[in-house]
Structure 1
Amino acid sequence: MIMRCVVCGKEYPADEIIYTCNECGSVLEVLMETEVSKKIFEGRKWNMWRYKEFLPVDESKKVSLNEGGTPFIKCNNLSKDLKVDLYVKVEGSNPTGSFKDRGMSVGVTKALEFNVDTVGCASTGNTSASLAAYAARAGLRCIVFLPAGKVALGKLAQAMFHGAQVLSIKDNFDKALEIVTKFALGGYLYLLNSVNPFRLEGQKTIAFEILEELNWESPDHIILPVGNAGNISAIWKGIKEFYESDFIDEKPCMIGIQAEGASPIVEAVKKQKLDIKPVKNPETVATAIRIGSPVNYPKALRAIYESNGTALSVSDEEILKAQRLLAKKEGIGVEPASAASIAGLIKLIDDGYLDHGERVVCVLTGHLLKDPKIAINACKKPLEVEPDFNLLKKIIG
């Protein structure tokens, strides 16, 4: 097992704490050789550790809250309305309510292997919530840097409740990440943002589960929200690993969805570029993807280009409309960033990008109650009435 720069190709030993390439400054990826039959997974518990041979940590030291094994649901009502074969991967069912738990399970396990005593991250919310829980599980000190006033209350409460030291930075996420990275490079903490290549190894198991749930057939498209761009990179890596293991015969197109107020990757894809122009003051109601300078953009662009996929942006209005639609049509409640994938799907259909009958998987990254204020504001207030049966009968009709 080694780490390799995704841009210049320089290799590094996997037992070295390093986050980016010393030569060109780009992000790293973990490479490991795994030769197993897919039959090895049969009979194992349905969580992400059923794929332990593909995870670059010692399973005997794993820090786990039984993450993974999330619901994979065929959306019959939306499939009929949108004329596609739609499935959703409900990552909000992970222990702390988001896909981040997969990455933190592997990342915090790696922290124990490195014998560190403190872990840290910058976060728009979900990362801090997840890291705080897994650090508590491992008995490690946890420090998180959050952009002041920009984190949904559900996520902030989780980080604090699990015992993290929470520092509110009077700036945006990108500045918070810059600061926590300085602490990491100074040896004060082990950084578990998605710039850490081991964290993404946990998140690639989303791809493994999708493929196994589809009886080892690839969907035509996988659509997901993009913030710091780790998840689209991880899922594509998982797809390729199962393809190279001859578990599947085809690969899907990867489609990344960003909010209009934070869409540097979309702009790069429009121009077929290999780099991005950061957004200085990103703004969107979808706080989980309110990131103007995604550190994993090289991996994300590679995933999109290699898979013949695309990226597009959606408005806050489209995101909130899709959030309500998913809840009312399928009974699935997600935070705004998750609904970006559904908003993107609808836009792709309206634009004629997707054909009728194509099999599509939308990744729903976080639970509805991560951002309860948005959900409450989207609904009518409860009607206060007297406890009178006849009166209530008239109202109900």
Structure 2
Amino acid sequence: MGNEIDGEYMLCCLECGAEIGGHWRIRCDCGGILELWRDFSGMDGERLQQLFEQRLYLERGTVYGSGVWRYKELIAPELPENALTTRGEGNTGLYLSQACAAYAGIRELRLKAQSENPSGSFKDNGMAAAVSHGLSLGKNVFACSSTGNTSASLAMYAAWSGSSSLVIAPASNISPAKINQTTAYGAQVIRFDGTYDDGIAFLEKWGDALGLYVCNSLNPYRIEGQKSIVYELAQQLQWKMPDWIAIPGGALSNVSALGKGLGDLWRLGMIDKLPRIALVQAEGASPFHRMVEQKGKTFVPEPNPRTRASAMNIGNPPSWRKAPAALELTQGVTAAVSDEEIMLAKRVIDRSGIGCEPASAATLAGLKMLRTDGTIDKDETAAAILTGHMLKDADALEELYSGGIMHMPGGEPLSPEVVRRFILK
């Protein structure tokens, strides 16, 4: 792992292996993406477990009551407390669902509802850390390219911290609800003819010159904050992990973060085993799955990604170079599911009483596929990360469930007979 920079952390390039100190940056001089690496070798895992339990019950209402900053020692010990921003993110439910387990064909399945985050998606875990780091540097204009969830989270934390936010978003294939949520928090939004990937490239080129602190998943602090999802999952399970964790794959920040977080917990002796990761992409936006399936090392972006699960409609995932390490560590696998399979799985999750946006349902669809092809055994257990709230995509709800609404003919009064007909139809 090398020596720490300034006694706290080092930025390590995944391309050339350079260890970088000094000025904060997102890319290495060679163009490679960077990761934050810390030396946890002197830490006591058992003591950390006790500390995290204490904070869970005794620190509510403080910054350490956050489901991110509860784990500050493993996320960003160098950040000063006065820079930490929180909306009480994390602290999301973990629900045992017999209906979803039966649909997947496995013994036990828990749903980790990151949709219960303040802005309605898992992005809050990483964004809390990224914005806090930006604040520690004196930044006050935060920016991202987004398919919706990132922008809403960014705008929320910027507003909460008294800062400004700028969002660059494609003109099409994005849920209007997510853009409306973003503007409601006060972000300035630029819609353009292009893709999420084009927006990322623009911010990488011009972000510094425009005085922007870029909060996309290339930002290493985003990954550090998102590790808290798996820390919290482990704590909720009393540090006894399931056989599998299923994660939807769009920008691939989540699989990178959860794999990194699992590695932290395993090396510190805090969990009983390493669960296998099942990374699930949509067929129309699955360049990483294709690379893994073909056992190749050359990544070929999808120039025209297309999926109904808009949060995964990304053809050139910015974190793809970080994702292989998560699969290698956990003996993980990838899968690609159709939009039809995603929407069928969404119905099951919605009717279970939890609900999710389409991208989240890819987890259940993927588990079902992997059980069918024998990758997962019927007696195994799993947790599925539900990344976004069902109201994030109102159009999907209307598409799926408009048949459940009865519109009374003009002039016909409501009566018991009408209700009986509707119930029995």
- Contact 1:265 1:301 (8 Å CA) reproduced: no
- Say whether 1:293 aligns with 2:304: no
Q: Unmatched 5+ residue regions in structure 2?
A: 1-8, 57-64
For 1:28-107, what aligned pairs fall within 5 Å after superposition? Answer: 28-34=34-40, 35-36=43-44, 37=47, 38-45=49-56, 47-56=67-76, 57-81=79-103, 82-107=105-130
Measure, in 2, the Cα distance between the counterparts of 1:256 and 1:392: 44
Residue pair 1:122, 1:146 contacting (<8 A) in 2 also: yes
- Assess if the C-alpha contact under 8 Å between 2:106 and 2:381 holds in 1: no
2: distance between equivalents of 1:323 and 1:394?
Answer: 28
Equivalent in the alignment of 1:22: 29
Range with bigger deviation, 33-42 or 279-288: 33-42
Tell me the alpha carbon deviations over residues 334-365 of structure 1, each in whole angstroms, 9 at most, x when there is no partner.
Answer: 00100011110111111111001211111110
Evaluate the alpha carbon distance shift between residue 113 and residue 324 of structure 1 in structure 2; reply closer, same or farther with a 3 A threshold. Answer: same
Unaligned runs of 5+ in 1: none
Structure-1 separation of matches of 2:196 and 2:421: 51
Matching of residue 12 in structure 1 with residue 20 in structure 2: yes
Select 2:418's aligned residue among 374, 391, 397.
391
SS class of match (1:360): strand
| Equivalence map 1:200-239=2 (5 Å) | 200-239=223-262
Counterpart CA distance in 2 for 1:27 and 1:387 is 62
Contact between 1:4 and 1:10, CA under 8 Å: does it hold in 2? Answer: yes
Q: SS of 1:371's equivalent?
A: helix
Verify the 8 A CA contact 2:75 2:227 in the aligned structure 1. Answer: no
Question: Following the alignment from structure 2 to structure 1, what is the Cα–Cα distance between the partners of residues 318 and 298?
Answer: 11
The 2-side partners of 1:349 and 1:104 are apart by 34
Contact kept? 1:258, 1:289, Cα under 8 Å? yes
1:274/1:298 contact within 8 Å kept: no
- How far is 1:270 from its partner? 0.9
Question: Could you tell me how far apart the structure 2 residues matched to 1:125 and 1:87 are?
Answer: 26
Q: TM-score, normalised by structure 2?
A: 0.90
> Quick one: distance in 2 between partners of 1:350 and 1:272?
22
Residue type matched to 1:12 in 2? I
Q: Deviations over 1:158-199 (max 9, x none)?
A: 110111110001111111111122221425201100000011
Q: What is the CA–CA distance in structure 2 between the aligned matches of 1:275 and 1:195, rounded to whole Å?
A: 19
Corresponding residue to 1:115 among 124, 138, 141: 138
TM-score with structure 1 setting the length: 0.96
> Are 1:303 and 2:309 an aligned pair?
no
Aligned equivalents of 2:298, 2:328: Cα separation in 1:
13
Whole-Å separation in 1 of the counterparts to 2:282 and 2:420:
44
1:327 is matched with 350
2:171 corresponds to 1:148: yes
CA–CA distance in 1 between the matches of 2:194 and 2:143?
18
State the partner residue of 1:276.
299
Question: What is the DSSP-based 3-state SS (H/G/I as helix, E as strand, rest coil) of the residue aligned with 2:85?
Answer: coil
**Partners of 1:342 and 1:69 in 2: CA distance:** 22
* Superposed displacement of residue 394, structure 1: 4.1
- Residue 399 of structure 2 is aligned to residue 377 of structure 1: yes
How far off is 1:32 after superposition?
2.0
CA contact (8 A) 2:164 2:187 kept: yes
The amino acid that maps onto 1:355 is D
Partner of 1:312: 335
SS at match of 1:69: coil
The secondary structure found in structure 2 opposite 1:42 is helix
The structural deviation recorded for 1:54 is 1.2
Query: Structure 1 CA distance, aligned partners of 2:418 and 2:285?
Result: 49
Between 1:175-184 and 1:282-291, the stretch displaced more is: 175-184
CA deviations over 1:9-61 (Å, ceiling 9, x no partner): 21112x632111213x2211111234142211122135222111112132332
Corresponding residue for residue 3 of structure 2: none
User: After alignment, is 355-364 or 175-184 more displaced?
Assistant: 175-184
Identity %: 36
In the TM superposition, what is the alpha-carbon distance from 1:219 to its structure 2 partner?
A: 1.8
